[in-house]
Amino acid sequence: MTLKDFFIALSENQTLNSVAQKYGFKLGAQSVVAGTNIDEVVESIKELNALGISCTVDNLGEFVFEKSAALEAKQQILAVIDRIHTENLQAHISLKPSQLGLDIDYDFCFENLEEIVSAANNYQIFVNFDMENYARLHPSFQLLEKLSEHYNNIGTVIQSYFFESDENVDRYKDYRLRLVKGAYKEDHSVAYQAKEEIDRKYIEHIEYHLLHGKFTSIATHDHHVINHVKQFVKKHNIPNEKFEFQMLYGFRKELQLELAQEGYNFCTYVPFGHDWYGYFMRRLAERPQNLSLVSKQVFNKKSNTILAVAAGAFLLGRMTKRKK
């Protein structure tokens, strides 16, 4: 089992997710999550805005299988939109269709998404559809396309490890896109497995959308990729207004500020809420080096303990399955 597989398995463990929600902010999760409520996340956004950094705000939520939970998430996102508008924040929304009911009922999810997109459109606020695992990929694209018939304030994410992403980065070139490598465990029949192949595809997709796309959000902590992009945009005379760099809240803070001070558009992905565990485990799966980027801020003795407990529970589960 690879380190990526390990963190993906942890992210999908509902028991550990529940434990993390209960104890996470006592163990340092606030270093990677910008608060548990709207007031707290608004203050975090204001601090970043003051540094010349814009934000995309994610109301965290996992394992949504009841309509009541999806409706609660919708109301929370609508409240964030209102605060962005009333307080004139430099921020937009990121959301996951599964949190709004995609795993419950497609039409129900569409209604929730349309209410959010419409409210954001009234305030000229952008809404980004985060992409999830392959099983949800095409339904999410369908929701995006259907809403695009009436709204133009929406965009999405292309995950470079999928074989079909060459086609999708062209198909959605007229959208504002966030480009990422991909953070879920996907089968070899639909996705590249080798890091070298994924890295190569990621650069190809970035270059293609910079040259042909509407607006490109380059979401990476990898300074090699960032330096490549800097050289590429200079060589091809691509103006700063056509792209931005994105990083996660709490990761590589010095580099975030450095890029903003250099005059590049910079956006921090700002998650908030108690349901932080799955999000954080996927970030570690996506790039295990992320663990070292926040270790000094997050992982004190107590949080090392919870990671050890998580690892032990996971490995025990694996051993039990093998015995059966």
* Tally of helices (H runs) and strands (E runs) in the chain: 13, 8
The answer to whether residues 13 and 162 belong to one domain is no
- Residue 92: the pLDDT is 98
The answer to whether residues 214 and 88 belong to one domain is yes
- The torsion of the CA quartet 177, 253, 251, 92, rounded to 10 degrees, works out to -40
The answer to whether residues 17 and 101 belong to one domain is no
The answer to whether residues 138 and 4 belong to one domain is no
Higher pLDDT, residue 10 or 133:
133
Please, are residues 44 and 249 in contact by the beta-carbon 8 Å criterion? yes
Residue 282 resides in a domain: no
What band does 288 get if pLDDT is binned at 50, 70 and 90? Answer: low
The answer to whether residues 46 and 173 belong to one domain is yes
Taking residue 223's Cβ as centre, other Cβ atoms within 10 Å add up to 10
What band does 4 get if pLDDT is binned at 50, 70 and 90? Answer: low
In the predicted structure, residue 263 carries a pLDDT above the cut 60: yes
In the predicted structure, residue 307 carries a pLDDT above the cut 60: no
- The torsion of the CA quartet 45, 49, 55, 59, rounded to 10 degrees, works out to 10
Query: Over the stretch 131-146, which tens digit does the pLDDT of each residue have?
Result: 999 999 999 999 999 9
Residue 193 resides in a domain: yes
- Residue 300: the pLDDT is 46
In the predicted structure, residue 188 carries a pLDDT above the cut 50: yes
Q: Provide the whole-model pTM.
A: 0.83
- Total count of domains within the chain: 2
The answer to whether residues 65 and 85 belong to one domain is yes
Q: Provide Rg for the chain, Cα atoms.
A: 19
In the predicted structure, residue 298 carries a pLDDT above the cut 70: no
DSSP string of 258-296, one letter each residue: HHHHTT--EEEEEEESS--HHHHHHHHHH-TTHHHHHHH
- Residue 323: the pLDDT is 46
The answer to whether residues 184 and 300 belong to one domain is no
The answer to whether residues 309 and 228 belong to one domain is no
Residue 209 resides in a domain: yes
Please, are residues 79 and 39 in contact by the beta-carbon 8 Å criterion? no
Average pLDDT score over the chain: 86
For residues 88 and 149, what is the distance between their CA atoms, to the nearest angstrom? 28
Query: Over the stretch 41-86, which tens digit does the pLDDT of each residue have?
Result: 999 999 999 999 999 999 998 779 999 999 999 999 999 999 999 9
Residue 280 resides in a domain: no
What band does 292 get if pLDDT is binned at 50, 70 and 90? Answer: low
The answer to whether residues 194 and 66 belong to one domain is yes
Residue 16 resides in a domain: yes
Distances (CA, A) of 139 to 67, 98, 128, 158, 168: 18, 10, 15, 14, 14
Residue range(s) defining the domain that contains residue 189:
33-275
Query: Over the stretch 78-125, which tens digit does the pLDDT of each residue have?
Result: 999 999 999 999 999 999 999 999 999 999 999 999 999 999 999 999
Q: At what angle do helices 290-298 and 277-286 cross, to 10 degrees?
A: 140
The answer to whether residues 13 and 38 belong to one domain is no
Catalytic residue list: 130, 178
Instruction: Name the pairing type of β-strands 176-180 and 154-159.
Output: parallel
CB within 8 Å of 155: residues ≥ 6 apart? 126, 127, 128, 129, 175, 176, 177, 178, 214, 215
CATH code where residue 255 lies: 3.20.20.220
Residue 281 resides in a domain: no
114 is written with which tokens? 């349309």
Please, are residues 151 and 118 in contact by the beta-carbon 8 Å criterion? yes
Residue 192 resides in a domain: yes
pLDDT (mean) for 181-202: 93
The answer to whether residues 1 and 70 belong to one domain is no
pLDDT (mean) for 210-236: 97
